[in-house]
Structure 1
């Protein structure tokens, strides 16, 4: 992805200075550097858009992480992300509610989820979520 383009996560900044910075830090061996559940969720959405399955697996909590992630279906196009809200339950647990839109085979899809995140050893992880 061209790092000068707007970030897929919807923040009004470039991919390079937003989710791209988290993806590059991870690829360089700096670990997971998202500072909030919302930042991690946004970076995960951008990782879906840019097909960074290694980042997605690394940011998935080991208790719920799949063994592998299949490549995206040919023709899948991500259309946008809307964060509807985020909340901290305590210093190490948070939730983010979002809507992600995509299109595949001429059909529009909408995923609305309330995701749960946990921080362990300073790193945030996606645990699971409830679909709406």
Structure 2
């Protein structure tokens, strides 16, 4: 697998955000990816991380990962294309919480075949901002 950094295109600033919000990327996850703002909730961080996988932004994924569980580097699979995100549920993770859980289903295509990944992700605040901690066991 080859390491990929951001491959976000500036050609269409009104492109719909990959997170599924229906909003233009520049008004949704784009500012988070560029470091212009931080996620207000655990769900917003989850959506921005899915979008980062979808656009190949490994740097953002590492920045939004808790320091105790973050890998030294991240190699994204160029043959895996993330296509759609479904949020199945949340537990805490709001504006005044210190931790939260987001359950989701992420759809992808690999070698022309569809697939899904379901996970319950745990998020916490580190230095005042939401970060991904880990996946909870089934």
Q: What TM-score do the two structures reach when normalised by structure 2?
A: 0.84
Asked whether the 8 Å contact 1:111–1:131 carries over to 2, the reply is: no
Distance across 1 between alignment mates of 2:124 and 2:76: 26
Asked whether the 8 Å contact 2:66–2:126 carries over to 1, the reply is: no
Matching residue within 7, 11, 14 for 1:4: 14
Stretches of structure 2 that go unaligned for 5 or more consecutive residues are 1-8
Q: What TM-score do the two structures reach when normalised by structure 1?
A: 0.87
Are 1:86 and 2:79 an aligned pair?
A: no
Distance across 2 between alignment mates of 1:128 and 1:116: 5
Asked whether the 8 Å contact 2:54–2:83 carries over to 1, the reply is: no
Corresponding pairs, count: 126
Matching residue within 62, 65, 75 for 1:60: 65
Equivalences for residues 1-132 of structure 1 within 5 A: 1=9, 2-24=12-34, 26=35, 30=36, 33-74=38-79, 76-88=80-92, 91-130=97-136
Distance across 2 between alignment mates of 1:38 and 1:106: 29
Stretches of structure 1 that go unaligned for 5 or more consecutive residues are none
Asked whether the 8 Å contact 1:9–1:45 carries over to 2, the reply is: yes
1:130 Cα offset (Å): 3.0
- 3-state DSSP of counterpart to 2:45: helix
1:131 Cα offset (Å): 5.9
Name the structure, 1 or 2, with higher relative contact order (CA <8 Å, separation 6+). Answer: 2
